[in-house]
Amino acid sequence: MINQDKLLKDLQDRGMIKYDQLNLILEEAKESKRGVEEILEKIVNIEDLTQAKSRFYNLAYQNITELIINNKVLNIIPSEVAQNYKIICFGEKDKKIKVGIIDPDNFKAIEAVDFLAKENDLQAEFFLISKNSFEAAFKQYKSLSKELDTALKTRAKAEEDQLIAIEERNKPQTGEEVTKSAPVAKIVSVIIRHAVEGKSSDIHIEPLRNETRVRYRIDGVLHTSLVLPKAIHNALVARIKVLSNLKLDETRIPQDGRIRMIVNEREIDFRVSILPLVGFEKVVMRILDTTKGAPKLEGLGFQGRQLQLLQKNIKKTEGILLITGPTGSGKSTTLFSLLDMLNKEGINISTLEDPVEYKMEGVNQSQIAPQLGYNFASGLRSFLRQDPDIIMVGEIRDEETAELSVHAALTGHYVLSTLHTVDCSGVITRLVDMGIEPFLIGSTLNTVIAQRLARKICEFCREETKIPPDYLETIKAELTQIGDEYLKELIKDFDINKLKFFKGKGCPRCANTGYSGRVAIAEVLDVNKQIKDMIIEGKKYIDVDTIRKTQPFVTVRQDGFLKVIQGKTTIEEVLRVMSD
C-alpha cells in the first residue's frame, strides 16, 4: 500500500500540488472519511497522479484511453473477470501479454491474471493504469452499435417468425407481454446504460418522419446518438411505460413517472416524461445519479470575492438565500454545495425537493407529491413544526410558497431556494410581482446568486488560439469595469494587453467537441444595508451601476469573460449561454 505522506511529498516536489493544499487535502480526507487519493483526483490530472503512483509500486505506467485493442487480445481476460478485478489485457506478443491494473494491492486480481495466463501458456506483464484508461478500454468489449445491431436483428427475426406462424401472431397478447420481449428490453437497457456511461443528463427518444432519433444531452447540449427504425418506436415507449408504472393504453395526455435502476453498480433514478405528439409519443428521461456527493463551491467555478461572500453569508442563522437562472443552469447543484457546507451535527436541516437529486447523510430530505396535495406550500407548513434550523425549498413557484418562505425567515430560520429570473436584480422584481411586501423582502433577503453553466475546454486537447478583434474589444471593455485590483487577485501578472485565449482542438476523450464538463459563471449579490433600504423604499429594480456603488460586483457575463482569459472556457461558449 502506498504511504500517503510520501505520495503527497512527491507530488509537492514535482510541483503538482502546492504546499498550502497539503493540510486542506488531509483535513478534507479526515472530515469526509475518504482516501487521500480520491481527493487528489479532483486536484491533479488523473493520468499524472497514476504515473506518480507507478513509481511507488515499481510498475510501468501506461495510458490506454485512446488505444484500440484487438478483440482477440481483449478477450484473453473475459469481460466478467475484467469488470470484477478492474484489469484489462491490452497487448500480446511472443507469448507475453500486457495487463493494465488499477490497484496492485489487489492480490486476487494478480492471481486471476496469472491463472488465466498459465491456462493459455502465456506470461503476464503488469502496467499501472488509471480508472479512465480502464473504463475506456472496457467499453471495447461491447460497443453500442454491436449491441443494438444484435438486438435489432433479433427483433427482425422474431417479426419474420411471426409472419410465418400466423396462428401465433394472431394470438392475443397484453401490452406488457409485448414490451417484455427480449429485443425491445435489450434496446432500452442499452440506451439507458450508454447514456449513464456517457455522463448524459437527459435522454430524448423522439419520432421523426421515417425513423426514431435518440439524443443525449451532454454538458448542456443535445447530441444525436442513435437512429432506430420507426417500426419499433411504440414498443420502446411501451417498454419505458412498463418500467415507470405508467398506463400503456393512455396515449392522449402527458404522463410522468420514475424508474430506479442499478447501472454499473450505481443506483440511478430516471424521471420520465411522456408527451403525446401527432400519431406518436415522445419520451424524455432525466438522469438523476443519487449516489453522487455534493461538489464544493470551488469545484463548481466560484472564486475570488464571490466565493468569500458566500462563505461569509452562509454562516448567518436567519434570512433567505436565493439562486436564480434558467432551467439547467446548475441551481440545484449549487444549493446542495451550500447545504453540504452547512450540514453539521448540531443543525437540523430539512429539504423539500422535486425530485430528490442528491442524497445527503444527516439531512431530512422530503419528496413532494402534488397529486396527493403535498406541494412546496403544504410541505413548508409541516416543516415549521419540525424544529428546523435550515430549510431548503426546491423552488419558489407561487405566491403562497414565497409568503411561507418569508415567514420562515422572519421567525428565525435560514431558508435556501431557487427562483426563475435572468439576473440578481430580477429577484426583487419577481418577489414584488408575487405579492410580497417590499419591507418583508428587505428584512429577509440576504444573498442572491444568478448563474449559468458554460462548457469547459477539454484539458487533454487544449491549445492556444486567437479570437476576432471585436470579441477582444468586448472582453477588454468588460474587464475594465471589473478593475485591475480584483483581476490581479485572480490572475497573477495580469496585463490587459497580453491576454491569452484557448480552445479545445477535439480528441477522443471529449468526443471531438473540444469541451468536457461544465463550469458555473455567476454573479453574487450581497443584500447589504444600502440595498435593503432601497428595497424597503419601494425600488423595484436596482441596476448594476447602483449595485456597484454599494459593493464590488461582477456580473454573470463578466465572470464568464474572466473564465475565458483563465483558459477555462471559450468566448463563443459564454456568448451562447448568455444569449438571453
Instruction: Give the model confidence (pLDDT) of 11-44 as tens digits.
Output: 777 777 766 676 677 766 666 666 667 777 667 7
Q: Which residue has the higher pLDDT, 466 or 57?
A: 466
Is the pLDDT at 325 greater than 50, yes or no? yes
Residue 185 pLDDT: 85
CA–CA separation, 390 vs 369, rounded Å?
Answer: 21
Residue 145 has pLDDT above 60, yes or no: no
Q: Using H for helix, E for strand and C for coil, what is the string for 106-130?
A: CHHHHHHHHHHHHHCCCEEEEEECC
What is the rounded average pLDDT of the residues 303-315? Answer: 93
First to last CA, the chain: 53
- Residue of higher predicted confidence among 159 and 252: 252
Q: How far apart are CA 151 and CA 140, in angstroms?
A: 18
**CA separation for the pair 61, 52 (Å, rounded):** 9
Residue bearing cell 448563474:
451
CB 246 within 8 A of CB 257: yes
CA nearest neighbour of 285 among 268, 267, 302, 272 = 272
Residue whose grid cell is 435550515: 390
More confident residue, 31 or 333: 333
CA 482 to chain centre: 30
Contacts of 118 (CB under 8 A, 6+ apart): none
CB 202 within 8 A of CB 284: yes
**Looking at per-residue confidence, does 175 or 439 come out higher?**
439
Closest CA to 292 of 356, 341, 358, 351: 358
Q: What pLDDT was estimated at residue 1?
A: 59
Dihedral over Cα of 154, 155, 158, 164: its sign? negative
Nearest CA-CA partner of 517 in 560, 459, 578: 459
- Predicted confidence band at 154 (pLDDT cuts at 50, 70, 90)? low
Q: Name all domains of the chain by residue range, CATH numbers in brackets.
A: 4-139 (3.30.300.160), 142-289 (3.30.450.90), 297-577 (3.40.50.300)
Tell me the percentage of the chain whose pLDDT exceeds 90.
41
Q: What is the pLDDT of residue 10?
A: 73
Is the pLDDT confidence value at 341 over 60?
Answer: yes
Cα dist. 138→52, 60, 102, 332, 516 in Å?
23, 20, 13, 32, 20
What is the pLDDT averaged over residues 237-251?
90
pLDDT of residue 272: 94
Q: What confidence category does residue 170 fall into, taking pLDDT thresholds of 50, 70 and 90?
A: very low
Say if residues 469 and 445 touch (Cβ distance below 8 Å).
no
